[in-house]
A = this chain, B = another copy of it.
Amino acid sequence: MQWWRARYAARERQRPRAGGLELSRITRAALEIVDAEGLTALTMRRVAEETGVRHTSLYRHVASRDELLVELVDHVLGEVAPRQTGAGWRADLEQAAHAFRQVLLAHPAVVPLLTVGQLLGPNALRGREFGLGLLIRAGWEPARAVRIYLTVTHFVIGTAVLGTGGAARGAGERTAMTDLFAGLPQYPLVRELAGPLNLPDGDQEFAFGLTALLDGIGDPR
């Protein structure tokens, strides 16, 4: 998207009135709503209500609801704070992946939004720079570093988006599912393994997958 270039330019034009609206207030209100009540609760009217303004005023700061969502995503990405462990590139990468995952788990309603477009906001780019630097300093050839960076990033987002969909199910739903399976004799394995299949252990699956992925990737050179 060339959105971000236009956004960067639009922000310069902004000259907030004393006590008036600001983009950051809108984004913050949006995140609060979404954290508390999910994505469907995030309407322009609701955001306006929360920021003490009429909903049509929002269009002065944001071109559309979609643009608000893009801003929201990068705002959340700003919470990721990867650090160097001093224990080598793989430990650094694993630490960054876990830090990223933790932020996503803290804002499950935002996660689906990470899949709709490219992540090109300032915070997303900061993360890219960090990840690529890590891998290149470790000796990976640039093209390979890009591949590894994208693969791991997509793995983190992918497991998060699938986990939060499934994580919505409580214990009640889980037993209902086991009941459902019990009534389907045509799928013996599905039925027999209903327990582990329906256990929402996203963290273990994440750790298993990340380890396998990095084991398979190996070392530079």
> Which A residues fall within an 8 A CB radius of B?
1-2, 4-5, 112, 115-118, 120, 125-126, 128-129, 132-133, 136, 142-143, 145-147, 150-151, 154-155, 157-159, 161-162, 165-166, 168-169, 173, 176-177, 179-180, 183-184, 187-190, 192-193, 196-197, 205, 208-209, 211-217
Q: Tell me the minimal C-beta distance from A120 to chain B in angstroms.
A: 7
Bound together, the chains give a CA A133 to CA B151 distance in angstroms of: 28
A-B contact pairs, 29 of them (CB 8 A): A2-B173, A2-B177, A2-B179, A5-B179, A112-B115, A115-B115, A115-B161, A115-B162, A115-B165, A118-B166, A120-B177, A120-B180, A126-B187, A128-B190, A128-B197, A132-B189, A132-B190, A133-B189, A142-B192, A151-B208, A154-B158, A154-B159, A154-B162, A155-B209, A157-B162, A158-B161, A158-B162, A213-B213, A215-B216
How far is it, in angstroms, between the C-alpha of A192 and the C-alpha of B136 when the chains are bound?
12
